[in-house]
Amino acid sequence: MYTAKHPIHRRTFLKTSATALAVASTGGTVGIAADRAASVQTVLGPVAPDELGMVLMHEHAPLVDWSELYEFKPAPLTPAVRKEMLENSARMLRQFQNSLGSDQSPGAIVECTPIRVGRYPNLMVELARRLKCHLIAATGFWCEAFAPQHPWAIRLGLEKNGIDKIARLYIREIREGMEDPSGAWGEKFTAVKAGIIKIGTSAYMTPSERRCNTAAAIASAETGCPITTHTTDGGGLEQAHLLLKAGAKPERIIIGHMGNKDDREQDEAYAYHRQLVELGCYVQFDRVGHDKYTVEKCARQIKRLTDAGFARQVLVGHDWAPYFYRGQFDPKTPNDKIDAWTFKESDFTIVPRQLVPELKKSGVTAADIRTITIENPARVLAF
């Protein structure tokens, strides 16, 4: 079984001096220094927040698997499939590592795959051990925007004190370790801790999503762990208000998937982003490079926020999932045979290699770019 101790220390030590120096030289230590005692919970153990470098705040690696959402067994991970997933994911994430300057290294990704949607804690540990960049995993149940809500989430939520039971599960995954999907639901747990809570909503929040999300606010208030969200064509304000009402602190809330018709009407939805940051939450442009989220468009939206003085509340990422298993059955296309892993070559370097230059070109200052890509993640991920 996995133990979290040794691999981290030497690496951590070697990284410290360069990163600390770089942060100090830009005068950007304020937010980080205030949280000096807090650490970021990676799958290999705690790391000081100023040792992350550039962070991609919403990714999936190696895989996402929707099988259990349709009440099927998870897709088989044969030794050959596992090996291929690890090799390909490590290769693509090394491209990200190698794209970073010494002041942005070693880099980190937040692995946002929720409970029982292809989240294999021990596989993430194996992946992280092959890399210099850090990997932070998530607890939390996903939404039912594209597939049914996970039946475990529904079952738990409908029990007596159901919201609290879901919150206890999240808290256990943050404090002791994430559930091991090789057992029945809730039967086995690993010692690999989650470092963020991932939740989501459909276009409008469903009753089960509401229970799972309220539980996230309770778990965040109790542990200090940040919450990151999936939104579906908007709904971020509804999420933020629910989370705040249920006790989460605004500076622990990241509203995700910004960048396309977020208010359901305006393509660039600036007023919506503005309302979210005025509540004190982070807004996350985490699909940079996708079709409707071009680099130029994301840069333009981010520029409007930095111009208004909100650089400290912006985060970025790609939302890539190299391996995806949709499930043996999709009710929308019941005749399609889809019982296979799909692989998509994923470019995790779009943020450092394309977005950063585009932000510079559009007039965002180097200090603000550093705030968005390095200092904000360090601040929000530390608890």
**Contact footprint for Zn ion (CB under 5 A):** 112, 319
Give least dist CB 131 to Zn ion, A: 20
Q: Please say which residue, 268 or 319, places its beta carbon nearer to Zn ion.
A: 319
Give least dist CB 315 to Zn ion, A: 14
Give least dist CB 287 to Zn ion, A: 9
Q: Please say which residue, 19 or 201, places its beta carbon nearer to Zn ion.
A: 201
Q: What residues are paired with 45 via a beta bridge?
A: 42
Q: Please say which residue, 65 or 319, places its beta carbon nearer to Zn ion.
A: 319
Q: Please say which residue, 44 or 61, places its beta carbon nearer to Zn ion.
A: 61
Give least dist CB 360 to Zn ion, A: 27
Q: What residues are paired with 314 via a beta bridge?
A: 283
With CB atoms as reference, the residue minimizing the distance to Zn ion is 319
Packing angle, helices 79-99 and 121-129, rounded to 10? 50
**Ramachandran angles phi, psi of 124, nearest 5°:** -65, -35
Tracing tokens 């585009």 back to the chain, one arrives at: 358
Around Cβ 301, how many Cβ atoms within 10 Å?
Answer: 22
Give least dist CB 66 to Zn ion, A: 12
Give least dist CB 75 to Zn ion, A: 18
Around Cβ 203, how many Cβ atoms within 10 Å?
Answer: 13
Give least dist CB 247 to Zn ion, A: 25
Q: Please say which residue, 40 or 56, places its beta carbon nearer to Zn ion.
A: 56
Give least dist CB 60 to Zn ion, A: 6
Q: Please say which residue, 10 or 291, places its beta carbon nearer to Zn ion.
A: 291
> Exposed (0-12), middle (13-18) or buried (19+): which is 38, by Cβ within 10 Å?
middle
Q: Please say which residue, 112 or 192, places its beta carbon nearer to Zn ion.
A: 112
Q: Please say which residue, 312 or 326, places its beta carbon nearer to Zn ion.
A: 326
Give least dist CB 188 to Zn ion, A: 25
Helix/strand/coil (H/E/C) assignment for every residue in the chain:
CCCCCCHHHHHHHHHHHHHHHHHHHCCCCHHHHCCCCCCEEECCEEECHHHCCCEEEEECCCEEECHHHHCCCCCCCCHHHHHHHHHHHHHHHHHHHHHCCCCCCCCEEEECCCCCCCCCHHHHHHHHHCCCCEEEEEECCCCCCCCCCCHHHHHHHHCCCHHHHHHHHHHHHHHCCCECCCCCCCCCECCCCCCEEEEECCCCCCHHHHHHHHHHHHHHHHHCCCEEEECCCCCHHHHHHHHHHCCCCHHHEEECCCCCCCCCCCCCCHHHHHHHHHCCCEEEECCCCECCECHHHHHHHHHHHHHCCCHHHEEECCCCCCEEECCCCCCCCCCCCCCCCEECCCCCCHHHHHHHHHHHHCCCCHHHHHHHHHHHHHHHHEC
Give least dist CB 58 to Zn ion, A: 6
Q: Please say which residue, 45 or 140, places its beta carbon nearer to Zn ion.
A: 140
Q: Please say which residue, 220 or 228, places its beta carbon nearer to Zn ion.
A: 228
